[in-house]
Structures are given as structure tokens and as C-alpha cells.
Structure 1
Amino acid sequence: MAWVYILTNRKFGTLYIGATTDLVQRVWQHKGEFIPAFTKRYHLNRLVYFEEHQTIYGAMQRERTMKHWKAEWKVALIEKDNPEWDDLYWVIAPG
């Protein structure tokens, strides 16, 4: 399995789209700001959207496609299932 995910720092804030094979670990890395990159610089650690894919290749293709979307499309995707922009990490994290 693989995942595409969207992180932000606040509702309607800066968005980051990524792909991974281990969603829990990857989001934990972003939350701890262990990755010295864009997400650390802007404190993007709130998981507001994720979707499952059968392969990492499919997830990476979807990630690249979504990165070219208009901001309004990304916001609509988030708000479809997460209108309050809640942090979904606590939904996927074990106990």
C-alpha cells in the first residue's frame, strides 16, 4: 500500500502534498520536524487529507497531478471529508 497526503499548518494555510508507503511514520517525521525541508520551514504538520493507493507508483503519479491543481481544487478535496481541517494523524496513529 501507498498513500498520498496533504499537510498544512492551519485551516486555509500553506499546503504540502506528499506520497509515502508508511503514512504514520512519515507524518510523525513531519510533526517532529525531523525533515529539514519545506514542511519544517513552514511548520506543516497537520494531516488534513490522505488517500490510499495500491502501489507507490500510483501514489507518486497522483501526487504529481495534485501538485498542479489550482488551490481551490485542493481545498475542495480537503473539505469534502474534513470540513474543519482536523488533524487526521490521531485517526491513523496507533493507540
Structure 2
Amino acid sequence: MVSRYGTIAVYIVASQKRGTLYCGVTDNLGARILAHREGRGSKFAAKYGCKRLVWYEIYDMIADAIMREKSIKKWRRQWKINLI
């Protein structure tokens, strides 16, 4: 679904192959990825150079997307890699 701002998505960005992973949620995926590439996405992502979009999922409801993001953030690293 497209919200009034854009697409609601849960996403993972990476610094490089086998690098640091960052999971987030947004209602404007394009703008958020651009922000990550410019080092404005989040302090954690900027610190570790997470700029490469490696996975995303689209949602109709922001509450569902937030629940999914919180769930993924608790996962072990290997589970996230398997998801990607």
C-alpha cells in the first residue's frame, strides 16, 4: 500500500558483503535509502557505513511493519542473512 508519503516498508541495509546489517522501517523507502547513502539514515548505519539496500518487505499497515522490524531486530545474524 502507498501511504500519503510513500510505500510502507521494513528493510535491511548492509555495509558490504558479510558486513554490518541495519534493519529499519519507513513510509518512504526511496527517500530513506537515499538518506542512508548520504550518511543521514541513522547514527548506527552512518557509523558502520550501512548504505546498500539488501532486502525489503512492503506492508499495508504501519503497525504491522513496526512489529516485523522489532521481530527481525531480535533475530540472530544468520537468520537475517538467510532472509536476505
Corresponding position of 1:62: 68
Listed as ranges, the gaps of 5+ residues in structure 1 are 79-95
What stretches of structure 2 of length at least 5 have no aligned partner?
2-7
Find the counterpart in structure 1 of residue 17 from structure 2: 11
Distance 1:56 1:69 in 2: 20
Q: Deviations over 1:1-40 (max 9, x none)?
A: 3100000111111100000000000010010112450111
- Aligned residues: percent identity? 38
CA distance in 2, matches of 1:20, 1:35: 11
In structure 2, the residue matched to 1:49 is 55
Aligned letter for 1:8?
A: A
Q: How many residues align?
A: 78
Alpha-carbon distance between aligned partners in 2 of 1:59 and 1:53, rounded to the nearest angstrom: 6
Structure 1 segments, 4+ long, off by >6 Å, are none
TM-score of the superposed pair, with normalisation by structure 1? 0.78
Aligned counterpart in structure 2 of residue 34 of structure 1, from 30, 34, 40: 40
| TM-score normalized with structure 2 length | 0.88
Q: Aligned with 2:55: secondary structure?
A: strand
